[in-house]
Structure 1
Amino acid sequence: MYSFIASWASLCSLLIFVSSVNAAVPDKQGILAQLRKNGACCTALDYFLPDKVHFNILTDAAYANSQHSFWAAQPQSLTPTCIVIPTSTQDVSTAIAILSIANQASIRGCQFAIRGAGHTPNKGANNIDGGVTIDMQSMDQVVVSDDRKTVSIGPGNRWRNIYPKLDELNLVMVGGRASQVGTGGLVTGGGISYFSGRYGFVCDNVKSFEVVLANSSIITASNTKNSDIFRALKGGSNNFGVVTRIDTALYPQEKFWGGTIAQPITNKELLWPFLSTLTASANFDPYAAIIINFAWLAGVPSIVNNVIYTDSDATWPPPSLQPLDSMPKISTTIRKDALTSFTDELAATLVITTGRLNIFSTLTFINDVEATPEFLAAVFDIVDATAKELLTVVGLIFTCSFQPIPRTIYAKSAGTGGNVLGLERFDKDFINFLFSLSWQLPIDNARVEAALKTAEAAIVDLAKRSGLYSEYVYLNYAAQWQEPVKSYGAQNVQFMRGVSKKYDPNGLFQKAVPGGFKLGI
């Protein structure tokens, strides 16, 4: 205990010195300037977390590896003064304690970012210029409970580290669909899974979170303990603390059907009624999951469907997917396999975009089996025109995707303590729409973003005129200019603000963590 108190006394002395040196020693402005230039917070972090703080120098491989491990070029382009790589919850607690004190003292250069796998492409969401990035990738534990009903995972995991371990036990968790995507961001953003039809959103299968709060304390949040922040973390992203462990439900699962079906573009008129019918809750098959992807290369569109059917006892094709399977095909990889195989397959299609400039933008449409097919055909025309408009963007890979979110999926959250996504206020079936663009040169950034915003506005206008518009914005796909938190509804926003004020009264995660989608406090 004495050593702990002494350490904190040293920390406080160091930070007080840094913040007061200008007044106490006015003739030594250079000392303060140098401390601030080199990062006062990084100096303190390095003192209390030896060998876990890395600086932007040529000899620090850990710094370089962290920077290069982001999926998109936008976060890679930012340069934190230092990167903290914790290996335990206590490391995170120590880091937050230092950063909290420093930000209360208004010491410059002490804003910070929190990253897991770093798949979010939005600049500043998971990295920072001139501050501190907390890289959680080393916190990648995967521990299955003795009764095989729960798995405890670290927030720095990628799904490729989790699923093979579960496959060996014939178990599955409700998680991500591409193996290189991370756990922490996906879970706290809601999370859509191949198993959502059966079990709901990824966040709704969490049993508890371990969280480091702004005051550096470590708490467990669940339905029975700190239940308010537990609910807020299910969709509330990085607004409340640093999640250091996620305990989530496991389910028995044998090998199942899945793969990709590539189709000629002439199939698109057949796909719209198929998607609308599949999405309707009245006949939704909970074992079926699909992502319908349109990709433009050199201005020419093609169709690739990611298809999953998780009933291990079924034969292929099941009735709900038979209309898709009967359409003309270019190729198919449909087979019976374990989850890892399908998440690796989807990840393989994303490899070519790694390290490039990438952007997401998303919308939500109401599904109406009478009106939706014609509406989706018109949406495709807007997207097709936009893809052709950007034909000269160097290295452009232009895709859009459609996937069902019927009421039967989001209604499951009520039985698990609820979430803050705000979908409980609706009674409609939805279709999620995603723009995903990748290109090579920063000179094209403004042009790509302008075209995407124009297309987005045109689709929103069309949806409103068609009576199929929904304000809901799925956070994990949201562009930097979108407002997913606001789309959760005023009641949920007010609830999250209350949770923030209770657990973070000084607003550390609102003011000192500028990246991500904030609560507007």
Structure 2
Amino acid sequence: MSARTAQVISALRQTLPHAHLVTSEATEEYNSLNNSYLSGFESDLSPACIFLPMCKEEIAAFVRTIRPFADDVQFAIRAAGRQPLPGCANVQGGVTVDLRSLTGIEIQDGHVRVAAGESWGAVYKHLELHGLGVTGGKSTTCGIGGLATQGTSTLINGLSFYSSREGFICDNVINFEVVVASGEILNADTQEHPDLWVALRGGGNNLGIVTRFDFRTFKQGSMYAGMVWYFRQSFPDQMAALVKELKSADPSVETHLMLSIAYAQVFGNGNDVICLNQLYYTQPVEDPPVLAPFLHVQPQRSEMNSMKIQTLVEAAMEQSGAGQSMIRCLYMNVCVKADVDTLTTGGDIWCEELEPVKDAPGLMCSYTLQPYPVSQLQKSSANGCNVLGLDPTNGPVVNVLLLSYWTDKKDDVGVISFMQKALKRIERNADERGQLVPFIYWKYAFSDQEALRSYGEENVRKLQAASRKYDPDGLFQKSCPGGFKLFK
């Protein structure tokens, strides 16, 4: 621990004598907290101190305390720690601000106020009692701050069960309660600090620490949801069905689709891959016609079919059960236009690059497609805009996620190399076909991807202007290094 970091910890203890500060001397609690990230890449980092604030006032005091040390001491912001980007929600030798103790959910005037430390599962359970829903994460374990907890201070844009109908998650935030670099606690909405409100809809951890999100709600009952497993030879037809639906003159706004090619040693299917459709229809209607091409794909593993009428909580719990935790994990992504040949060839490329790493212990990886339908992109403008730079007039977009889990640190280089080679070839294939979309989704981005720059120059300038206004000394640029920074 550096002398300056020790001074920060001492100053925090003086300013907040009852604060929950955990250093490595408290071995059991420290290890439990630091090993609770989704990915071992985050747990590889060892902060000098983990600070667990109990309220927004403690976060404001933290910001005021660390400001004089901005040139020497770094900090990170953690929600649930589910984004695997190294250093995004943890920091080596500095202070990690862990928001898990910031809890509370309150329904008020057609919206729900959610403290930044809550999970989507807790929100869904609370709203279910009132027959309500909200545009949120697909997994109960995802944290509110940063969606699948990219560990930053705000939501980016992730998909949800309601993306086609309601738009991106950030577009449904009507107010951010945020601690800015001065230590002030502000509300950012259409009336107060509207420039900050827009910037936080995509700006990550560059502008402050969000302590509460106020979301728009809507009436919601049960839905038809689940998983369908099938075989690779059917994947091209599934791409055709996906593109047909996205480009339909009257596409359904009640559907959310995720299509994947996946490989896992636990499948017990030799060296082959298997395919997965994760399907959601947000009404309690079994086998709706719009899902028929994806539900009835043949041949399929019928014993693994989980489609049924279920609550939002149950659907999100199923998604959580499909994940893993506390292992090596990384994401990379690229966006392309809805084009059958581009998507099908991308899957072929991924399968080719997979071959050399299939023996990596515990490997589970996927080529996953998550569409952004035009109806979703249009909601951004209707709900007040964001800084993501996606234009609905350019048609539907498909996010191509490359995801890998594995168990042994010695395989890091090999697996990362596989993912990078596949991504580069997929990007080049899309570019050569004129189908590449210059947008990278932050939550799924690796450290060598330019997520912020992909928003476009105008939006980057808008974010930089907000940073200069609300953080004139660059506290969140210099001292909070994780994620993607505005002036690099």
Alignment of 1:78-97 (within 5 A): 78-97=45-64
Matched, 1:150 2:111: yes
User: Would you say the 8 A contact 1:54–1:62 is kept in 2?
Assistant: no
Q: Which residue of 2 aligns with 1:469?
A: 436
**For structure 1, which segment, 441-450 or 198-207, has the greater mean C-alpha deviation from structure 2 after superposition?**
441-450
Matched, 1:310 2:282: yes
User: Would you say the 8 A contact 1:176–1:193 is kept in 2?
Assistant: yes
For the aligned residue pairs, the C-alpha RMSD in angstroms reads: 1.6
User: Would you say the 8 A contact 1:54–1:63 is kept in 2?
Assistant: no
Following the alignment from structure 2 to structure 1, what is the Cα–Cα distance between the partners of residues 179 and 393? 33
> Structure 1 433/38 Cα, relative in aligned 2: closer, same or farther at 3 Å?
closer
1:366 to 333, 337, 350: 337
Alignment of 1:129-144 (within 5 A): 129-144=92-107
User: Would you say the 8 A contact 1:154–1:246 is kept in 2?
Assistant: yes
Q: Deviations over 1:11-40 (max 9, x none)?
A: xxxxxxxxxxxxxxxxxxxxxxx8707621
Q: Deviations over 1:355-411 (max 9, x none)?
A: 1110000110111xxxx2222221111110122121132221111211211222111
Following the alignment from structure 1 to structure 2, what is the Cα–Cα distance between the partners of residues 164 and 425? 33
Q: Which residue of 2 aligns with 1:457?
A: 424
Q: Which residue of 1 aligns with 2:296?
A: 326
Following the alignment from structure 1 to structure 2, what is the Cα–Cα distance between the partners of residues 255 and 456? 37
Matched, 1:300 2:272: yes
CA displacement at 1:501 relative to structure 2: 0.2
Question: Given residue 117 of structure 2, which amino acid in structure 1 is its aligned partner?
Answer: G
3-state SS of the aligned residue for 1:293? strand
Q: Deviations over 1:224-250 (max 9, x none)?
A: 110001000001110000000000111
Question: Given residue 335 of structure 1, which amino acid in structure 2 is its aligned partner?
Answer: K
3-state SS of the aligned residue for 2:331? strand
CA displacement at 1:297 relative to structure 2: 2.1
Q: Which residue of 2 aligns with 1:124?
A: 87
Following the alignment from structure 1 to structure 2, what is the Cα–Cα distance between the partners of residues 269 and 111? 48
Alignment of 1:182-331 (within 5 A): 182-186=143-147, 188-280=155-247, 282-298=249-265, 299-312=271-284, 315-328=285-298, 329-331=300-302
2:77 to 114, 121, 144: 114
Matched, 1:347 2:320: yes
Question: Given residue 316 of structure 1, which amino acid in structure 2 is its aligned partner?
Answer: E
CA displacement at 1:61 relative to structure 2: 4.4
Following the alignment from structure 1 to structure 2, what is the Cα–Cα distance between the partners of residues 441 and 35? 31
Question: Given residue 292 of structure 2, which amino acid in structure 1 is its aligned partner?
Answer: Q
Q: Deviations over 1:443-499 (max 9, x none)?
A: 221222222111111111110111111111111111111111100000000010000
Q: Which residue of 1 aligns with 2:150?
A: none
CA displacement at 1:209 relative to structure 2: 0.3
Question: Given residue 413 of structure 1, which amino acid in structure 2 is its aligned partner?
Answer: S
Following the alignment from structure 1 to structure 2, what is the Cα–Cα distance between the partners of residues 275 and 73? 34
Q: Deviations over 1:403-450 (max 9, x none)?
A: 211222111111222100011375221111101101122222122222
3-state SS of the aligned residue for 1:377? helix
Matched, 1:357 2:328: yes
Question: Given residue 281 of structure 2, which amino acid in structure 1 is its aligned partner?
Answer: Y
Unaligned 5+ residue runs, structure 2?
A: 148-153, 266-270
**For structure 1, which segment, 129-138 or 329-338, has the greater mean C-alpha deviation from structure 2 after superposition?**
329-338
User: Would you say the 8 A contact 2:366–2:403 is kept in 1?
Assistant: yes
CA displacement at 1:168 relative to structure 2: 1.6
CA displacement at 1:138 relative to structure 2: 0.8
Q: Which residue of 2 aligns with 1:171?
A: 132
Following the alignment from structure 1 to structure 2, what is the Cα–Cα distance between the partners of residues 325 and 192? 21
User: Would you say the 8 A contact 1:279–1:431 is kept in 2?
Assistant: no
Q: Deviations over 1:248-276 (max 9, x none)?
A: 11101111111111112332122110111
What is the aligned residue count? Answer: 474
CA displacement at 1:65 relative to structure 2: 2.9
CA displacement at 1:50 relative to structure 2: 2.7
**For structure 1, which segment, 54-63 or 373-382, has the greater mean C-alpha deviation from structure 2 after superposition?**
54-63
3-state SS of the aligned residue for 1:300? coil
Following the alignment from structure 1 to structure 2, what is the Cα–Cα distance between the partners of residues 189 and 128? 21
CA displacement at 1:137 relative to structure 2: 0.7
Following the alignment from structure 2 to structure 1, what is the Cα–Cα distance between the partners of residues 410 and 27? 30
Q: Which residue of 2 aligns with 1:9?
A: none
Q: Which residue of 2 aligns with 1:10?
A: none
Q: Which residue of 1 aligns with 2:450?
A: 483
**For structure 1, which segment, 227-236 or 422-431, has the greater mean C-alpha deviation from structure 2 after superposition?**
422-431
Q: Which residue of 1 aligns with 2:34?
A: 67
**For structure 1, which segment, 443-452 or 199-208, has the greater mean C-alpha deviation from structure 2 after superposition?**
443-452
Q: Which residue of 2 aligns with 1:419?
A: 386
| Structure of greater Rg | 1
Following the alignment from structure 1 to structure 2, what is the Cα–Cα distance between the partners of residues 176 and 519? 26
3-state SS of the aligned residue for 2:66? helix
Alignment TM-score, normalising by the size of structure 2: 0.94
Following the alignment from structure 2 to structure 1, what is the Cα–Cα distance between the partners of residues 65 and 96? 13
3-state SS of the aligned residue for 1:497? helix
**For structure 1, which segment, 340-349 or 448-457, has the greater mean C-alpha deviation from structure 2 after superposition?**
448-457
CA displacement at 1:53 relative to structure 2: 3.9
Following the alignment from structure 2 to structure 1, what is the Cα–Cα distance between the partners of residues 317 and 231? 24
User: Would you say the 8 A contact 1:281–1:408 is kept in 2?
Assistant: no
**For structure 1, which segment, 321-330 or 210-219, has the greater mean C-alpha deviation from structure 2 after superposition?**
321-330
Following the alignment from structure 1 to structure 2, what is the Cα–Cα distance between the partners of residues 280 and 179? 31
User: Would you say the 8 A contact 1:204–1:418 is kept in 2?
Assistant: yes
> Structure 1 213/37 Cα, relative in aligned 2: closer, same or farther at 3 Å?
closer
Following the alignment from structure 1 to structure 2, what is the Cα–Cα distance between the partners of residues 269 and 188? 33
3-state SS of the aligned residue for 1:261? strand
Unaligned 5+ residue runs, structure 1?
A: 1-33
3-state SS of the aligned residue for 1:271? helix
CA displacement at 1:48 relative to structure 2: 1.8
User: Would you say the 8 A contact 1:152–1:245 is kept in 2?
Assistant: yes
